Amino acid sequence: EYDGVIKESAESQESLNKYLPVCFGLIVLLLIAQFRSYRRSLIIVLTIPLIIIGAALGLLIMQGNFGFMVILGLYALAGIIVNNGIVLIERIDSERNESDDGGGEAIVTASVRRLRPILMSTFTTILGLVPLMLSGDVLFYAMAAAISFGLAVGTVLSLGVVPVLYSLFFGIQPAKHRQ
């Protein structure tokens, strides 16, 4: 009996992994097309691994099993983190276009202005997953735990990492330290 389940799971994971490089390439191309910039696209791609930290913690704390549904959850979670990065970078670009301080203050202002919307969408998503975690459902429990914790930790980390990477990639220094 277990051999059939393991075989089906392996086949499902193989079919997901088969098209992963193509999908990842398309995502990168879409990001480059949207921003018309390799650096902005790279910033967003570099935030994707941040979800692994929270997802791993969530699975450890909630004692969930890593399986096919968790992998699907990680793909969905990557999309949410990419969306957060896009929203933040677009706001930083808007603030830089409107200000004339060189960008340091624009990064801070954009981060503050996007903090509440990003946190609100994160909290509502996590709250929507709480019933799946409380139910203890075999199919969705680990996925909900991975998404919830991955989203919480990934969002907090990306809110710090995106502005820092933006300032590093574009050579922007804080206004008070400029000479």
Name the nearest CA neighbour of 120 among 141, 162, 151: 151
Does residue 90 have a pLDDT over 50? yes
Confidence label for 104 from pLDDT (cuts 50, 70 and 90): confident
67 or 86, which is more confident: 86
- Can you spell out the DSSP letters for 85-139? HHHHHHHHHHHHHH--S-SHHHHHHHHHHHHHHHHHHHHHHHHHHHHHHHHT-TT
Predicted local confidence at residue 150, as pLDDT: 94
Does residue 67 have a pLDDT over 90? no
Predicted local confidence at residue 31, as pLDDT: 86
Averaged pLDDT, 8-17: 75
For 39-60, write each residue's pLDDT tens digit. 999 999 999 999 999 999 999 9
Instruction: State the Cα angle at 162 between 148 and 113, rounded to 5°.
Output: 85
3 or 118, which is more confident: 118
Q: Give φ, ψ of 36 to 5 degrees.
A: 55, 40
Does residue 179 have a pLDDT over 80? no
Predicted local confidence at residue 178, as pLDDT: 47
For 151-171, write each residue's pLDDT tens digit. 999 999 999 999 999 999 988
Predicted local confidence at residue 5, as pLDDT: 62
Confidence label for 175 from pLDDT (cuts 50, 70 and 90): low
Q: What is the pTM of this model?
A: 0.82
